[in-house]
Amino acid sequence: MTQQRRFTVVESAAERRGRLASDEPGEMVFSDQFGYVEAMRGRIRNSDQKYKKLAETGEMSSSTVSNMASGKTRLPRFSTMFGLAASLGLEVTFRPRSRR
C-alpha cells in the first residue's frame, strides 16, 4: 500500500496575480473588485480560524463568512470586505485609479 502526498494550496490564483502586480513585497494590488473578492475568498478558506471566530471579529454573521468562502456571495458589501480583512489581520488600502 502506497501513501499519497497531500499538498495544501497556500496562495490562490487571485492572490498570486495581486502579489505579482505589486511593486512592494508583501503587498497585493488588484485592478478590479472581482480579483480582490476572489483573493479574500482564498484567504478565508486557507485561514486556520473557524468561520464563527472570523465572523465575531469582523462583526458579521457566520453565514456571511460561509457564503463568502463558498462563492455564494459574489458582490459583498464594502463593510463585509473590511471586516473580513480586519479579522484576518490584513491591512487594506484603497487607491482610486489614476486617470490617464
What's the pLDDT at 72?
Answer: 96
Decide: 89 and 83 in contact? Cβ < 8 Å. no
> At residue 6, does pLDDT exceed 60?
no
pLDDT at residue 93, as a whole number: 82
Mean pLDDT of 4-17: 72
pLDDT at 83: 94
The answer to whether the beta carbons of residues 68 and 80 sit under 8 Å apart is yes
Place of cell 473578492: 37
Rounded to 5°, the CA angle 48-25-33 comes to 70
What's the confidence (pLDDT) of residue 3?
60
Q: What is the pLDDT of residues 43-86, one digit of tens each?
A: 999 899 999 999 999 999 999 999 999 999 999 999 999 999 99
Ordered by start, the domain boundaries in the chain are 13-87
Per-residue pLDDT for 99 more than 90? no
- The domain made up of 13-87 has a fold known as 434 Repressor (Amino-terminal Domain) (1.10.260)
pLDDT of residue 9: 56
Three-state secondary structure of the chain: CCCCCCCCCCCCHHHHHHHHCCCCCCCCCCCCHHHHHHHHHHHHHHCCCCHHHHHHHHCCCHHHHHHHHHCCCCCCCHHHHHHHHHHCCCCCCCCCCCCC
pTM given for the model = 0.78
Q: What is the pLDDT of residue 100?
A: 62
Cα(17)–Cα(2) distance, integer angstroms: 36
